[in-house]
Amino acid sequence: MSFDVPDDLRYLESHEWLRTESETTRIGITDFAQDELGDVVFVELPAAGDELTAGEAFGVVESIKAVSDIYAPVSGTVTAVNEALFDQPELINEDPFEEGWMLEAELADEGELDELLDADAYRDQIE
């Protein structure tokens, strides 16, 4: 089975993705991760204003199969949370890279982006 791995994103080995648009960074979990989890039934996310630390858990995704921590790809301050996920957690399964995004953050250190996997490296990991 092949999974969608957009080339314009950066990835963590723990299956989170990050998209950088000017000052804002959008974060979610990958197509591979949502497939492994199965049907997502609940999401716990931080609030706007909370601090993220690269590599540390910031939330939880609960599916019919498992409960999994979600890890911050970078350090920064949460600026927005995808409120739609609280009522429709299945958006993570249906559209993990667009409608199913989790949060936006202001990046604390752009150098951390260099630590993340590019699309090719992430593809190698999941294949």
pLDDT digits over 88-127, tens only? Answer: 999 999 999 999 999 999 999 999 999 999 999 999 999 9
Rounded Cα distance between 92 and 86, Å, is 11
CATH 2.40.50.100 given to domain 10-109: yes
For the chain, what percent of residues have pLDDT higher than 70? 99
What are the residue ranges spanned by the domains of the chain? 10-109
Q: What is the pTM of this model?
A: 0.95
* The predicted structure's pLDDT at residue 21: 82
Q: H helices within the chain, ranges in order?
A: 31-37, 84-87, 91-94, 119-126
pLDDT digits over 43-99, tens only? Answer: 999 999 999 999 999 999 999 999 999 999 999 999 999 999 999 999 999 999 999
23 has a pLDDT exceeding 90: no
